[in-house]
Amino acid sequence: MIRRIVVPVEVYRGHITEATREALVAARTVGNGVGEVVAYVYGEPPAEGTDVLELADRIIVLEDGQVGTPVAMAQAKLLRERIASSDVDLVLVGSSSWGWDVAPLLAGFLSAPLVANCQVIQHAEDVLKATCRICAGKLLVDVEITNKPTVILLLPGSYAHREVQPGKGVMERERVPASDWDARVEFKGWLEPEREDIDITQEEILVTVGRGIGQQENLELVEDLAKTLGGAVCGSRPVVDQGWLPPTRQVGKSGMIVKPKLYLAIGISGAPEHVEGMKDAELIVAINRDEQAPIFDVAHYGIAADLFDVIPALKEALVARRQEA
């Protein structure tokens, strides 16, 4: 039986992150209303969006001048004793950059196993199992969890659409003595890249172009189609490497992980490094003249034909349908 699940809460610029919300949803799902879900908040919770915390049964606010400073080493240390002394089965952390900093440190401090890239956690007949992605997402592996506590890093999106009942939402406050803040680095401030482009992770329709487009001039065709669909254009790595699209538009292992409602892959072979970034799209349609292309293995619909024939016909059909409506 699960007794207790701990979720360290990540606050980024005044907001509790989506990664934390998913970790809390996962905790409620795994705890199944029996195990207690405890959220640890570093410093005063933000003014807005704290309803997320109601997914926990207990919300423990750690108070002191420094605890809210995002220094993973010190924040992980603050939880070490609290977790070690309170019958915790699982510690669930979202896979944000902060999560990737905090979770391994916490596992190290607790001498606990770390299970990373976890997609689903199941608890049946007293066996706790995590399903995790390995080999760049090509394989799934089931890991049986026998150690208590175990620290789990959850992949983003894994629990995004689950509906769960809120917890008891009881808030407690705990003062942290200044001497417990053991940071060996100093947080100076956030540095963010200047964003001069759209964020393709937030787009619902993506029209993605690969090397099959041949040359930069042909991108116009794809941009035109994207406009008709109301979507954004992005690309595989060769297209970005050629400078035909900016790096902000690259999908894949070394680009962005996207989950749009529609992903139209045009002239893309479907290399594992590309597929890793798009395979969770809700609907994948691929156009490739090679009917053996691996992209068809992940596509829901495939068109094995020349893209220069398909795109104009597709656009024409879309315009005609719009006029009918």
Q: Which one among 151, 307, 311, 314 touches ligand FAD, defined by CB under 6 A? A: 307
Q: Which one among 254, 282, 300, 312 touches ligand FAD, defined by CB under 6 A? A: 254
- By C-alpha distance, which of 304, 281, 169 is closest to 234? 281
DSSP secondary structure letter of residue 319: H
Can you read off the two tokens belonging to residue 321? 């349908």
- By C-alpha distance, which of 23, 4, 26 is closest to 102? 23
Q: Which amino acid is present at 208?
A: T
Q: Does residue 145 contact residue 129 with C-beta atoms inside 8 Å? A: yes
The count of chain residues that interact with ligand FAD, using the rule CB under 6 A, is 27
Residue 174 in 3-state DSSP?
Answer: strand
Q: Does 306 bind ligand FAD (CB under 6 A)?
A: yes
Q: Does 288 bind ligand FAD (CB under 6 A)?
A: yes
Shortest spacing between CB 158 and ligand FAD, in angstroms: 21
Q: Which is nearer to ligand FAD, 3 or 211 (CB)?
A: 211
Q: Does 271 bind ligand FAD (CB under 6 A)?
A: yes
Q: Which one among 6, 236, 298, 314 touches ligand FAD, defined by CB under 6 A? A: 236
Q: Does 274 bind ligand FAD (CB under 6 A)?
A: yes
Q: Does 137 bind ligand FAD (CB under 6 A)?
A: no
**Rounded to whole angstroms, how far apart are CA atoms 50 and 155?**
22
Q: Does 269 bind ligand FAD (CB under 6 A)?
A: yes
Q: Does 95 bind ligand FAD (CB under 6 A)?
A: no
How crowded is residue 36: how many other Cβ atoms within 10 Å of its Cβ? 20
DSSP β-bridge partners for residue 232: 206
Q: Does 250 bind ligand FAD (CB under 6 A)?
A: yes
CA distances from 193 to 18, 196, 203, 255 (A): 20, 9, 19, 15
Q: Which one among 8, 45, 99, 267 touches ligand FAD, defined by CB under 6 A? A: 267
CA distances from 297 to 71, 185, 219, 254, 284 (A): 42, 47, 25, 21, 10
Q: Which one among 255, 262, 264, 284 touches ligand FAD, defined by CB under 6 A? A: 255
Chain residues binding ligand FAD by CB under 6 A are: 210-212, 236-238, 250-255, 267-269, 271, 273-274, 277, 287-290, 293, 306-308
